[in-house]
C-alpha cells in the first residue's frame, strides 16, 4: 500500500512547490505607455534600457510607440494617450504658454546636444559654412528643436537662413530624408542613422555636426503631466532610476557593444552603420550621462528659441523642470 501511495505524495509535493515559483515568475509589472517623437540612434540609452533589462529590473513594462512629431507627442500626453513622452523640452514651454492647467513637466534628460548632421549632396573636400549661401537647404519643421538649433548655428556663422538660403520647411518630418533622396535640396539636416546610411550609399556626405556647434541644450527629455507625476511618483522614480542605469551603461560601454544592444530597434540597419552612428554621438557628448536638466541648459534652450523667434514667453527652470527625482536616484 505504501509503495502505491508514495508516487502521488511526491507528485503532490512537487505541485505545491512549483505553483509559488511560477507565480513569482509571473509577477505583475507596472505598465508605462511611452511616446517617442521619432526613432533614432540618438536615443540609444532608452533602447539599451529596454534590451538590457533596466526597466524590467524596476518592475516596469514599457509600451513604446513612435508618433513622429513633437506636436503629436504633446497631443498624446495631454489627451492621456500616453503616460510619458520623449520629446524636445521646447514643447513643454509651448503648452505652458497656452495656459495649460496641468502643465507638462521635464523630469529626465536623455540627450544634451543637437542630434542632427549637415549632409551635402555633393562631396566637399574642405567644407566652410559660407558655402551654404545661395544653396537650397532642406530644413526641419518650424518651431521644432532641429530647426531652431539649425538656424542658431547658421546665424553663428554669419548666415541669415531666411535671406541667404533657399530654405525649404514645408516637408513633414518623417519625409525629409525621402525628399532629399529623391533630389530635393543641395543640403539637408538629418539625424542618425539616416545621415550615415546616405553617406554609405553615396547619396550624401556628412560635412558638419550641429551638435558640436550648438553646445549643451536639453534637446530631448522625458516628461509627463504634473498630475501623472503626482499620482504615480513611485513609478516615475523607478523609470528615472532605470534611465540613469542605462545612461551609465552607455557611458561605460564601447560603441560596438551599444550597437548590438540597440539593433532590435533598427532591424533594417547594418550593425556597422549603427556602431558608426553611436560612436559619432558618443564622441560629441550627445548622450546625457545623468537625467538632470540643469538651469544653464534650460537658459540656453530659451536663448535659442528667442533667437529663432519661437519663444512665446520666458519660463523659469523651477516652473517646468523637476530635478528632485533625478537627484534622488543618483544618490
pTM, entire model:
0.88
Q: Do the strands 136-138 and 187-190 form a parallel or antiparallel pair, or are they unpaired?
A: parallel
Comparing 102-106, 124-128, 288-292, 319-323, the range with the smallest average pLDDT is 124-128
At residue 19, does pLDDT exceed 80? Answer: no
pLDDT interval class at 27 (50, 70, 90) = low
What is the pLDDT at residue 309?
94
What is the pLDDT at residue 2?
44
At residue 20, does pLDDT exceed 60? Answer: no
Q: Which residue has the higher pLDDT, 5 or 57?
A: 57
d(CA 270, CA 193): 10
pLDDT mean across residues, the chain:
92
Q: In order of start, what are the domains of the chain with their CATH numbers?
A: 30-112+217-330 (3.40.190.10), 117-214 (3.40.190.10)
What is the pLDDT at residue 11?
46
What is the pLDDT at residue 173?
82
Q: How far is CA 285 from CA 110, 211, 244, in A?
A: 11, 9, 16
Q: What is the pLDDT of residues 271-328, one digit of tens each?
A: 999 999 999 999 999 999 999 999 999 999 999 999 999 999 999 999 999 999 999 9
pLDDT interval class at 143 (50, 70, 90) = confident
Q: Do the strands 30-36 and 60-66 form a parallel or antiparallel pair, or are they unpaired?
A: parallel
Read off the C-alpha cell for 149: 538649433
Q: What is the pLDDT of residues 184-235, one digit of tens each?
A: 999 999 999 999 999 999 999 999 999 999 889 999 999 999 999 999 999 9
d(CA 185, CA 176): 10
d(CA 167, CA 152): 14
Span 45-74, average pLDDT: 97
Amino acid at each position: 500500500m505504501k509503495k502505491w501511495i508514495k508516487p502521488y505524495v511526491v507528485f503532490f509535493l512537487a505541485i505545491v512547490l512549483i505553483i509559488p515559483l511560477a507565480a513569482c515568475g509571473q509577477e505583475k509589472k507596472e505598465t508605462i505607455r511611452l511616446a517617442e517623437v521619432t526613432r533614432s540612434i540618438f536615443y540609444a540609452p532608452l533602447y539599451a534600457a529596454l534590451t538590457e533589462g533596466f526597466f524590467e529590473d524596476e518592475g516596469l513594462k514599457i509600451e513604446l510607440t513612435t508618433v513622429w512629431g513633437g506636436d503629436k507627442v504633446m497631443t498624446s500626453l495631454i489627451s492621456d494617450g500616453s503616460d510619458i513622452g520623449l520629446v524636445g523640452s521646447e514643447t513643454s514651454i509651448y503648452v505652458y504658454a497656452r495656459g495649460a492647467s496641468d502643465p507638462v513637466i521635464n523630469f529626465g534628460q536623455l540627450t544634451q546636444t543637437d542630434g542632427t548632421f549637415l549632409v551635402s549632396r555633393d562631396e566637399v573636400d574642405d567644407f566652410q559654412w559660407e558655402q551654404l549661401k545661395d544653396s537650397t537647404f532642406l530644413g526641419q519643421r518650424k518651431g521644432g528643436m532641429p530647426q531652431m538649433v539649425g538656424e542658431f548655428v547658421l546665424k553663428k556663422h554669419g548666415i541669415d537662413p531666411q535671406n541667404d538660403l533657399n530654405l525649404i520647411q514645408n516637408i513633414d518630418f518623417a519625409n525629409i530624408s525621402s525628399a532629399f533622396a529623391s533630389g530635393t535640396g543641395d543640403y539637408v539636416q538629418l539625424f542618425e542613422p539616416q545621415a550615415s546610411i546616405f553617406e554609405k550609399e553615396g547619396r550624401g556626405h556628412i560635412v558638419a555636426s550641429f551638435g558640436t556647434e550648438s553646445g549643451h541644450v536639453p534637446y530631448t527629455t522625458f516628461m509627463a503631466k504634473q498630475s501623472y507625476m503626482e499620482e504615480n511618483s513611485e513609478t516615475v522614480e523607478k523609470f528615472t532610476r532605470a534611465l540613469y542605469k542605462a545612461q551609465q551603461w552607455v557611458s561605460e560601454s564601447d560603441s560596438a557593444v551599444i550597437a548590438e544592444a540597440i539593433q532590435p530597434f533598427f532591424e533594417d540597419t547594418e550593425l556597422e552603420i549603427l556602431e558608426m552612428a553611436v560612436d559619432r554621438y558618443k564622441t560629441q557628448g550627445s548622450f546625457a550621462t545623468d537625467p538632470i536638466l540643469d538651469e544653464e541648459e534650460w537658459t540656453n534652450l530659451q536663448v535659442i528659441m528667442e533667437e529663432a523667434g519661437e519663444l512665446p514667453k520666458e519660463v523659469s527652470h523651477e516652473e517646468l523642470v523637476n530635478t528632485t527625482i533625478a537627484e534622488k536616484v543618483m544618490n
